Amino acid sequence: MIFDSTADIQAFGTATSNGAADYPGLDQWRELPISQQPAWQDHPAFDSAVAELSALPPLVFAGEVDVLRQRLAAAANGEAFLLQGGDCAETFAGATANKISARVKTILQMAVVLTYGASLPVIKMGRMAGQFAKPRSSDTETRDGVSLPSFRGEIVNGFDFTEESRRPDPQRMVTAYHTSAATLNLVRAFTQGGFADLRSVHSWNQGFTQNPAHVRYEEMAGEIDRAVRFMDAAGVDFEALRRTEFFAAHEALLLDYERALTRLDSRTGLPYSTSGHFLWIGERTRDLDGAHVDFLSRVRNPIGVKLGPTTTPDDALALIDKLDPEREAGRLTFISRMGAGKIREALPPLVEAVRDSGAKVVWVTDPMHGNTVTAQNGYKTRRFDDVMDEVRGFFEVHRAAGTFPGGLHVEMTGDDVAECLGGSDPVDEAAFADRYESLCDPRLNHQQSLEMAFLVTEALSHPERSAR
Ligand SMILES: O=C[C@H](O)[C@H](O)COP(=O)(O)O
Ligand SMILES: C=C(OP(=O)(O)O)C(=O)O
Ligand SMILES: [Mn+2]
């Protein structure tokens, strides 16, 4: 969210307390079991890196975070749809103007397809400007008989397979902060400076081949153009169309980083994580009595939790009690990531239990993380058909339960990479050698992302879609 005026900034509060916030309970997580962290507290650079981060300005404002909570409340009530997209793992070198603008453009295109096709406001959010820390299945990686610590995202260590690069370095947290600041700056400029103007819908599609998703998008853009020209002729004021809200989200995995960027709101004195607007807890760290759930229960940001196929209804209800005790619509988002083969059995008991409890959460589908497979040639990949099938399953489950399918969470990029198999301009395994760029999980490319948006639009605008 970007402010309209300086007066708004003052009214919104800035969470600018100098240094990491001191607030009761904020350090309780240090006493609790914690997983997926580097053991770097004894590193000579640790204290100075944390001190440096603690003194840096917030990346986002408390007031923006509150606006997001209101927008998510609408999604919890069936009146808006949340679109979350971006890299599995951002990289420092990947924070270039071209790559950032391609990703933002693709998210804007997906949002236009959804807004126009389903007549619902779309909350636009990037897995961006902070998505640097990765949980891993294994602590080590072995290549040709050599074992080294796993790559845990560039906020922790390097991707190169050498002992030096894989050694965790706390100073990387400071680099991650500055890279996030630069990314967010460009995103704010794009989305406030005219680049997101609805009258530019055609330009976001430029430079792509004429595959079916792009052709379909071009047709829709033509219809939007005609509608816009009509409204223009009718004297509608277009100022509001020039800008759009865009929020930043990441997995709040690395608690040393999150803690250092937690500040007190200048208006209310309450703690906010200022590393991003929306933070989520991953499937591997959602332990109810663990450090991550405790820490995030204490900040005011909207929080997401990934729910995998082993989640029980009791787990979901206990997470609600802990993270959303006030039952505040917009506070809690459940992001299910079941796998295409499991969603139709694993999701209904959760959705029904939450529905029957009366709690208002936003239900989002992440159709990526339950569908990861290893290709014959060794690359981590996902089949586009499996991803699509999980999305369809998500809508079916919500339609049957009478609940609202409130959002989509995807790993995607604006570039023409070859990481996920299939799509209407099919990617095959042979293309991986030249066009696989991700350092962690495979992402939908530009065309696959657009195709996904059309599918979701059809499901959302289905006449029998869920009760509100
Ligand atoms: O999003 C990331 C991955 O799913 C997660 O880091 C686990 O990946 P891994 O099984 O390759 O460690
Ligand atoms: C690690 C991720 O997801 P999950 O926690 O659902 O496995 C991720 O979103 O990149
Ligand atoms: Mn991932």
Q: Where are the alpha helices (DSSP H) in 198-328?
A: 212-233, 255-260, 291-297, 313-323
pLDDT at residue 221, as a whole number: 86
Instruction: Write out pLDDT tens, residues 209-259.
Output: 678 888 888 888 888 888 888 888 888 877 778 899 999 999 999 999 999
In whole angstroms, give the CA distance from residue 321 to residue 158. 38
pLDDT in tens, 273-311: 999 999 999 999 999 999 999 999 999 999 999 999 999
Q: Which of 413, 443, 452 is nearest to 104 (CA)?
A: 413
Give how far Cα 283 sits from Cα of 130, 141, 148, 304, 395, Å: 18, 21, 24, 11, 21
Q: Starting from the CA of residue 442, give the closest ligand.
A: 3
Ligand 1 binding pocket, CB closer than 6 Å: 88, 134-137, 369, 440-441
Phi-psi region of 90 (alpha: psi -120 to 50; beta: other; left: phi over 0): beta
The closest of 99, 76, 90, 71 to 156, measured between CA atoms, is: 90
DSSP bridge pairs for 280: 251, 304
Task: Quick: pLDDT tens for 26-81.
Answer: 999 999 999 999 999 999 999 999 999 999 999 999 999 999 999 999 999 999 99
What is the 444 CA–ligand 3 centroid distance (Å)? Answer: 12
Q: What is the DSSP letter of 140?
A: E
30 is in an annotated binding site: no
Mean of pLDDT over the chain: 92
Residue nearest to atom 8 of ligand 1 (CA): 136
Q: How far is the CA of 125 from the centre of ligand 2 (A)?
A: 16
Ligand 2 centre from 368 Cα, in Å?
A: 9
Ligand 3 center to 132 CA (angstroms)? 11
pLDDT of 145 higher than 60: yes
State the CATH architecture for 64-196+243-462: Alpha-Beta Barrel (3.20)
Ligand 1 center–CA 149 separation, angstroms: 14
Say whether 291 sits in a helix, a strand or coil: helix
ipTM attached to this prediction: 0.98
Q: What is the pLDDT of residues 355-406, one digit of tens each?
A: 999 999 999 999 999 999 999 999 999 999 999 999 999 999 999 999 999 9
Q: How remote is the CA of residue 79 from the centroid of ligand 1, in Å?
A: 33
pLDDT over 50 (residue 466): no
Q: What does the domain layout of the chain look like in residue ranges?
A: 64-196+243-462
Pairing of strands 262-264, 271-273: antiparallel
Question: Binding residue per annotation — 328?
Answer: no
Longest dimension (CA), the chain: 71
CA-wise closest residue to 466 among 363, 390, 376, 386: 363
Confidence of residue 8 (pLDDT cuts 50, 70, 90): very low
- 127 annotated binding-site participant: yes
What is the average per-residue pLDDT within 1-28?
Answer: 61
Give distance in angstroms: CA of 228 to centre of ligand 2.
39
- What would the DSSP string read from start to end of 278-289? EEEE-GGG--TT
Q: Determine the residue of 156, 250, 369 to mutate for testing ligand 2's pocket, defined as the one with the most ligand atoms within 8 A of the Cβ atom.
A: 369
- 411 annotated as a binding-site residue: yes
Tell whether the model's pLDDT for residue 468 goes beyond 50. Answer: no
Determine the atom of ligand 2 nearest the C-alpha atom of 134: 1
Please state, in angstroms and as integers, the Cα–Cα distance from residue 462 to each residue in 29, 116, 256, following that order.
44, 14, 45
Ligand 2 atom nearest the C-alpha of 440 is 10
Structural contact between residues 168 and 151, judged by C-beta atoms closer than 8 angstroms: no
pLDDT at 6: 39
What is the DSSP-derived secondary structure letter of residue 427? B
Which pLDDT score, from 0 to 100, does residue 272 have? Answer: 98
Would the annotation count 382 as a binding residue? no
Question: Any binding-site annotation on 284?
Answer: yes
Q: Which atom of ligand 1 is nearest to the CA of 137?
A: 12
Q: For ligand 2, which residues put their CB under 6 angstroms from it?
A: 88, 135, 251, 282-284, 306, 337, 369, 441
pLDDT at 13: 58
Distance (Å, whole) CA 193 – CA 308:
39
pLDDT tier for residue 19 given thresholds of 50, 70 and 90: low
Q: Is 200 exposed, middle or buried (0-12, 13-18, 19+ CB in 10 A)?
A: middle
Give me the residue label for tokens 């406030």.
192
What local confidence, expressed as pLDDT, does residue 117 receive? 87
Identify the residue whose C-alpha is closest to ligand 2 atom 6.
283
Which atom belonging to ligand 1 lies closest to the Cα atom of 369? 4
CA–CA dist 273, 65 (Å, integer)? 9
Which among 462, 447, 29 has a CA at the least distance from the CA of 273?
Answer: 29
Backbone angles phi, psi at 207, to 5 degrees: 90, 0
Handedness of CA 193, 198, 203, 206 (dihedral sign): positive
- pLDDT, residue 414, reads 95
Ligand 2, pocket-test mutation among 254, 278, 366, most atoms within 8 A of CB? 366
pLDDT tier for residue 15 given thresholds of 50, 70 and 90: low
Give the residue, by CA position, lying nearest to ligand 2 atom 2: 282
